[in-house]
């Protein structure tokens, strides 16, 4: 890449700075707000007991963590985790929400993490009842805002399994005030067995032509992954004793299950002692076993899955609901959130919806979307500000960037039209292909490969792209449109009318929509497949197939291709051989959602207002730049002073101040010890010294130059603060040389011999770092910090992992290093080592300076004295008889005592009068005592 020359004149640099400021200001308007340094969040762990089942005497233990914001009382958020995780899976999100101002309660659902109990898949009598008990817990806390007695102000955010819990809780507990389910399901029966229908939705008689059969097509691969995630988890063995009179902890709670443990018609009956399903309840275990062994679903299983799904309560949800669904999700597609939205709206509820470029195959929401969800919830729970979610928005993925990540633009529409229905705008496209014959091979093998759960997110990688879109010859019918003349943005579920004929009583088929480029390359958007089970009364049927929901820009010159296959490795397919004739004469109807790309279509007044803001920002930035330039000039009077810190402060959002108005100075040749208890702000101070974080106020000057990120003066500092970051497959010596090469400085300035001698690793420097002990890594890291013999050496806890001889050697190294006129700043918890190694100390407590000066002066600042005497016991007795003298103890020929203001000469006189010979008298110099006196024993 050619290097772009920068202006050399002052005026040119200021103009360049102004352009940069304009660009950054514009970006700041379009982008979501940037995050600051993450401040620590206070948290409390607790184990809460809940009934094992309705009316049960035994209890389940729920492992919980409560995160508290800086200001309380505050609205609360329940944050359940996804399936297979536990409360630690959502720690980062919980801390984000707490910084936003919420009280956040996380917990490991029963059967996961350290919580006990069995997994009921969000059973209303189990997991949903547990969540209601957690609302009770929040209602008793004074730090949670309350709407009334026993009614906390609370919202629920959750992804996947946790999102379903949010919906189920909102439909059963009226105390919930707002919910935001993410990438979750509406009905598990539809999610795991697409097109499975309940008895009250499809008549028991033979369905009419065009209707789907009731048992759907089993999504075998995804179901197997979920089963594995839950079969071996939990804090206790899976074989918990059932309640008296119950077959399992939830055997009495099923509305459509076996009831009391009896096998339902068509069910595979498990032996009572079987333990093949880990932590799952007996009902869930039996339902999965049935599906996995037969590939078909009974009405009892459909009813069971519906009962533990949000679809069972969506008609009762009236609180504000923000549905966030992923466009790259072969587990729970866009149809699931679409069904939830339609059901809540039909019941009179308010729903807002966002589709984003993620999902179970594409990842969780990023920081910008999480911030929007948090802002939306804050608005709903407090009424402050305005609703950040207006209309309907969806992400459109474009081509890959150089980094390998896709470009994404956001399209906003006034309203959500839905995947189906009369309000959905569709473009008709003719299909070519005629009637085609396809076969289902004996055993259903080989099967088409449309995607692999867990790897679908890698579909854009050249290494794995060949694994997807494999349709074996003879098993697929293909119907293709003409190339489009201009970009066609497909957004939603396309439909196609198929005619299917065959000799079998039914056909199990898999419909897909490909994007075909002019060179014939086919891409299956989001790896989506629509499985269908079509009855063939009389040997033939015509059906309208709703394809899976996608968002895909079809570029000019590309075509769309409908592919219908007889097999797919991700689903349970029939093993009996069969042949079908398929045609698609009715054409393809492609959904589009007209909208506006984010940042476009602004009114002229808005544009002029933004330009005015940018102009003002430019003027302010130029003035600020001139002031900063003056402030950042080197101070010639400090050119020989290694370090000067003045008024240094670091405050985090949420009210935490890690460093407060810190000032001290370090002179050449000193070994300065930075002391303080945990949380005193030592590491934060060193990180600011190295330019790793930016101070809130104050300044740091090194040899007169102000310190900031990337400042040239940092090259005069050697440091070991953030960890060594060695490459484990290289030797110690090669790691040092690689580090020095990265600095761009000549090799002869590195002083490798001196550094390797300091490391003291002997022949081990030629071994790979992965074989090193912690102490060896520590010594190598300090040698790395000393490369180039920097004028200022900064070390954070350098003796961690070292044994006593190595610590002694380190002490001598640092003292010799400072003896050359260089300066060392070292942070340590080992007070005895600091006392023997350092010449000066700075003591911090709660972010502030409490003492600084020579080690001897700090150690001798108390009232204790030491006397070297001929008769220690007689001396101790004599001192104890003197009024005000306390804490007298004997150590060899030394006697120590706290004189409490008594002049040392009077104490000596008292000893002489007692006939004790005094050889020496002086202050008792012990840094540990001074340290405890300065920061308090409790620290």
pLDDT for res 425: 87
Same-domain status, 300 and 337:
no
Distance CA 933, CA 594 (A): 71
302-307: average pLDDT: 91
Distance CA 74, CA 381 (A): 10
Lowest model confidence (mean pLDDT) among 160-164, 550-554, 893-897, 918-922: 918-922
Name the token pair of 114.
Answer: 């350290």
pLDDT for res 540: 92
Question: Given pLDDT bands bounded at 50, 70 and 90, which one contains residue 663?
Answer: very high
Q: Note whether residue 287 is domain-resident.
A: yes
Same-domain status, 151 and 226:
no
Residue 724 maps to which CATH number? 3.40.50.300
Q: Note whether residue 23 is domain-resident.
A: no
pLDDT for res 244: 31
Question: Is residue 786 over pLDDT 70?
Answer: yes
Residue 495 maps to which CATH number? 2.60.120.260
pLDDT for res 400: 52
Q: Percentage of residues in the chain with pLDDT exceeding 90?
A: 38
Higher pLDDT among residues 24 and 417, named by residue: 417
543-547: average pLDDT: 92
Q: For residue 925, report the phi and psi dihedrals to the nearest 5 degrees.
A: -95, 105
Helix (H) or strand (E) holding 107: strand 103-107
Question: Is residue 563 over pLDDT 90?
Answer: yes
Query: Among residues 797, 826, 856, which one ends one of the domains?
Result: 856
Higher pLDDT among residues 212 and 748, named by residue: 748
83-102: average pLDDT: 94
Distance CA 865, CA 863 (A): 7
104-115: average pLDDT: 95
State the average pLDDT for the chain: 81
Q: How many domains does the chain have?
A: 5
DSSP characters over 921-933:
EEE---HHHHHHH
179-187: average pLDDT: 96
Same-domain status, 299 and 332:
no
Q: For residue 80, report the phi and psi dihedrals to the nearest 5 degrees.
A: -75, 160
Same-domain status, 712 and 669:
yes
Question: Is residue 198 over pLDDT 80?
Answer: no
Residue 871 maps to which CATH number? 3.30.70.100
Question: Is residue 424 over pLDDT 70?
Answer: yes
Per-residue pLDDT of 205-226, as tens digits, reads: 333 333 333 468 888 888 888 8
Higher pLDDT among residues 600 and 332, named by residue: 332
Same-domain status, 669 and 797:
yes
Ranges of H-type helices in 584-717: 604-631, 682-689
Question: Is residue 655 over pLDDT 90?
Answer: no
Q: Give the best-scoring range by mean pLDDT among 93-107, 277-291, 800-814.
A: 93-107
Contact 309, 259 (CB under 8 A): no
Contact 313, 171 (CB under 8 A): yes
Query: Among residues 307, 336, 353, which one ends one of the domains?
Result: 307
Question: Is residue 101 over pLDDT 80?
Answer: yes
Distance CA 660, CA 674 (A): 15
Question: Is residue 369 over pLDDT 80?
Answer: yes
Domain range for 231 is 220-307
Per-residue pLDDT of 840-857, as tens digits, reads: 988 888 889 888 888 777
Q: Note whether residue 497 is domain-resident.
A: yes
Lowest model confidence (mean pLDDT) among 72-81, 266-275, 380-389, 879-888: 266-275
Q: How crowded is residue 287: how many other Cβ atoms within 10 Å of its Cβ?
A: 29
Q: Percentage of residues in the chain with pLDDT exceeding 70?
A: 81
pLDDT for res 381: 95
Question: Could you tell me the CA-to-CA distances from 55 to 48, 50, 51, 487, 685 in Å, in that order?
Answer: 17, 11, 7, 60, 56
**Which candidate, 553, 29, 93, places its Cα nearest to that of 324?**
93
**Which candidate, 596, 413, 587, 580, places its Cα nearest to that of 498?**
587
Name the token pair of 183.
Answer: 């990438």
Distance CA 202, CA 370 (A): 39
Same-domain status, 172 and 261:
no
499-523: average pLDDT: 91
Higher pLDDT among residues 809 and 350, named by residue: 350
Same-domain status, 139 and 246:
no
Helix (H) or strand (E) holding 741: helix 732-743
Same-domain status, 267 and 139:
no
Question: Given pLDDT bands bounded at 50, 70 and 90, which one contains residue 75?
Answer: very high
Question: Given pLDDT bands bounded at 50, 70 and 90, which one contains residue 627?
Answer: low
How big is the chain by its Cα radius of gyration, in Å? 36
DSSP characters over 333-355:
-HHHHHHHHHHHHHTT--EEEEE
Lowest model confidence (mean pLDDT) among 391-395, 660-664, 840-844, 863-867: 863-867
Ranges of H-type helices in 236-281: none
Question: Given pLDDT bands bounded at 50, 70 and 90, which one contains residue 399?
Answer: low
**Three-state secondary structure call for residue 394:** strand
Q: Note whether residue 196 is domain-resident.
A: no
Residue 329 maps to which CATH number? 3.40.50.1820
Same-domain status, 351 and 244:
no
Question: Is residue 574 over pLDDT 70?
Answer: yes
Question: Is residue 614 over pLDDT 60?
Answer: yes
Query: Among residues 284, 307, 330, which one ends one of the domains?
Result: 307
Helix (H) or strand (E) holding 408: strand 406-413
Same-domain status, 673 and 771:
yes
Same-domain status, 460 and 585:
yes
Q: Give the best-scoring range by mean pLDDT among 454-463, 590-599, 673-682.
A: 673-682
Question: Is residue 203 over pLDDT 80?
Answer: no
Question: Given pLDDT bands bounded at 50, 70 and 90, which one contains residue 405?
Answer: low
pLDDT for res 936: 63
Q: DSSP secondary-structure letter at 666? A: E
224-231: average pLDDT: 78
Q: Give the best-scoring range by mean pLDDT among 25-39, 624-638, 707-721.
A: 707-721
- Identify any residues that bridge with 535 across adjacent strands, giving them in sequence order: 506
Question: Given pLDDT bands bounded at 50, 70 and 90, which one contains residue 925?
Answer: low
Same-domain status, 689 and 727:
yes
Lowest model confidence (mean pLDDT) among 474-488, 697-711, 852-866: 852-866
Question: Is residue 814 over pLDDT 50?
Answer: yes
Q: Kindly list the strands in the beta sheet with 840-845, ordered across the sheet, starting from the edge strand earlier in the chain.
A: 717-720, 792-796, 823-827, 671-675, 840-845, 848-854
Q: Note whether residue 713 is domain-resident.
A: yes
Question: Is residue 155 over pLDDT 90?
Answer: yes
Q: Note whether residue 603 is domain-resident.
A: no
Lowest model confidence (mean pLDDT) among 65-74, 99-108, 209-218, 538-547: 209-218
Q: Note whether residue 610 is domain-resident.
A: no
Q: Note whether residue 247 is domain-resident.
A: yes
Burial 242-281 (b: 16+ CB within 10 A, else e): bbeebbbbbbbbbebbbeebeebeebeebeeeeeebbbbb
68-85: average pLDDT: 94
């Amino acid at each position: 890449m050619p290097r772009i020359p920068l202006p050399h004149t002052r005026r040119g640099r200021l103009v360049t700075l102004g352009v940069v400021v304009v660009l950054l200001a514009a970006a700041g308007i379009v982008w979501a707000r940037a995050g600051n340094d993450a401040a620590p969040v206070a948290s409390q762990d607790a184990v809460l007991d809940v009934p094992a089942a309705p009316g049960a005497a035994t209890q389940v233990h729920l492992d919980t963590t409560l995160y508290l914001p800086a200001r309380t009382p505050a609205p609360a958020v329940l944050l359940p985790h996804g399936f297979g995780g536990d409360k630690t899976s959502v720690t980062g999100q919980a801390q984000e929400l707490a910084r936003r101002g919420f009280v956040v309660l996380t917990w490991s659902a029963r059967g996961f993490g350290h919580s006990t109990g069995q997994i009921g898949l969000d059973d209303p009598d189990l997991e949903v009842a547990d969540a209601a008990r957690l609302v009770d817990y929040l209602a008793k806390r004074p730090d949670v805002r309350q709407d009334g007695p026993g009614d906390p102000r609370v919202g629920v955010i959750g992804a996947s399994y946790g999102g379903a819990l949010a919906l189920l809780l909102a439909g059963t507990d009226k105390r919930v005030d707002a919910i935001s389910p993410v990438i979750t399901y509406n009905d598990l029966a539809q999610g795991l067995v697409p097109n499975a229908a309940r008895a009250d939705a499809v008549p028991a008689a033979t369905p009419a032509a065009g209707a789907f059969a009731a048992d759907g097509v089993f999504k075998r691969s995804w179901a197997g992954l979920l089963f594995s995630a839950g079969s071996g988890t939990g804090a206790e063995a899976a074989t918990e004793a059932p309640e008296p009179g119950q077959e399992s902890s939830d055997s009495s709670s099923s509305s459509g299950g076996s009831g009391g443990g009896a096998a339902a018609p068509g069910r595979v009956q498990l032996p009572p002692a079987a333990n093949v399903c880990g932590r799952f309840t007996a009902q869930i275990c039996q339902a999965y076993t049935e599906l996995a062994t037969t590939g078909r679903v009974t009405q009892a299983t459909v009813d069971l899955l519906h009962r533990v799904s949000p679809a069972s309560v969506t008609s009762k949800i009236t609180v504000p609901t923000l549905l966030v669904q992923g466009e790259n999700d072969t587990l729970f597609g866009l149809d699931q959130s679409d069904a939830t939205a339609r059901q809540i709206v039909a019941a009179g509820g308010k729903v807002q919806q966002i589709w984003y470029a993620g999902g179970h195959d594409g990842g969780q929401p990023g920081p910008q979307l999480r911030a929007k969800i948090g802002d939306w919830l804050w608005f709903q729970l407090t009424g402050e500000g305005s609703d950040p979610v207006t209309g309907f928005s969806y992400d459109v993925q474009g081509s890959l960037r150089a980094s390998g990540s896709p470009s994404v633009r956001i399209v906003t529409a006034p309203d959500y039209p839905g995947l189906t229905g009369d309000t959905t705008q569709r473009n008709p496209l003719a299909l070519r292909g005629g009637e085609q014959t396809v076969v289902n091979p004996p055993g259903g093998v080989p099967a088409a490969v449309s995607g692999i759960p867990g790897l679908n997110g890698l579909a854009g990688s050249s290494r794995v792209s060949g694994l997807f879109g494999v349709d074996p010859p003879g098993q697929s019918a293909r119907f293709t449109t003409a190339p489009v003349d201009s970009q066609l943005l497909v957004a939603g579920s396309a439909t196609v009318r198929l005619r299917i004929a065959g000799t079998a009583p039914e056909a199990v088929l898999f419909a897909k929509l490909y994007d075909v480029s002019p060179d014939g390359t086919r891409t299956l958007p989001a790896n989506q497949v629509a499985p269908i089970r079509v009855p063939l009364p009389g040997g033939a049927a015509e059906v309208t197939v709703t394809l899976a929901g996608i968002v895909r820009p079809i570029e000019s010159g590309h075509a769309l291709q409908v592919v219908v296959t007889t097999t797919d490795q991700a689903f349970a397919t029939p093993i009996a051989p069969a042949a079908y004739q398929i045609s698609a004469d009715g054409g393809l109807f492609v959904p589009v959602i007209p909208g506006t790309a984010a940042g476009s279509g602004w009114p002229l007044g808005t544009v002029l207002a933004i330009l005015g803001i940018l102009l003002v920002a430019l003027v302010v930035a130029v003035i600020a730049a001139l002031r900063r330039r003056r402030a950042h000039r080197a101070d010639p009077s400090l050119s020989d002073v290694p370090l000067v810190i003045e008024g240094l402060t670091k405050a985090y959002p949420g009210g935490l101040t890690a460093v407060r108005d810190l000032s001290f100075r370090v002179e050449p040749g000193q070994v300065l010890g930075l002391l303080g208890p945990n949380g005193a702000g030592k590491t934060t101070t060193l990180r600011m010294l190295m330019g790793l974080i930016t101070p809130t106020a104050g300044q740091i000057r090194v040899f007169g130059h102000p310190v900031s990120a990337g400042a040239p003066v940092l090259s005069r500092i050697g440091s070991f603060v953030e960890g060594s970051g060695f490459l484990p497959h290289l030797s110690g010596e090669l790691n040092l040389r690689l580090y020095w090469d990265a600095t761009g400085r000549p090799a002869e300035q590195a002083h490798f011999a001196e550094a390797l001698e300091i490391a003291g690793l002997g022949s081990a420097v030629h071994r790979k770092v992965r074989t090193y002990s912690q102490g060896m890594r520590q010594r190598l890291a300090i040698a790395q910090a000393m490369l180039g013999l920097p004028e200022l050496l900064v070390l954070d806890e350098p003796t961690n992992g070292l044994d006593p001889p190595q610590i002694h050697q380190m002490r001598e190294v640092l003292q010799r290093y400072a003896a050359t006129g260089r300066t060392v700043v070292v942070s340590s918890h080992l007070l005895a080592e600091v006392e023997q190694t350092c010449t000066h100390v700075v003591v911090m407590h709660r972010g502030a300076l409490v003492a600084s000066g020579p080690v001897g002066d700090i150690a001798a600042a108390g009232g204790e004295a030491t006397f070297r005497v001929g008769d220690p016991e007689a001396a101790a007795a004599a001192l104890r008889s003197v009024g005000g003298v306390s804490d007298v103890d004997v150590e060899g020929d030394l006697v120590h005592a706290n004189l409490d203001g008594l002049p040392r000469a009077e104490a000596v006189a008292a000893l002489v009068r007692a006939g004790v010979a005094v050889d020496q008298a002086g202050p008792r110099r012990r840094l540990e005592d001074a340290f405890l006196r300065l920061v308090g024993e409790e620290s």
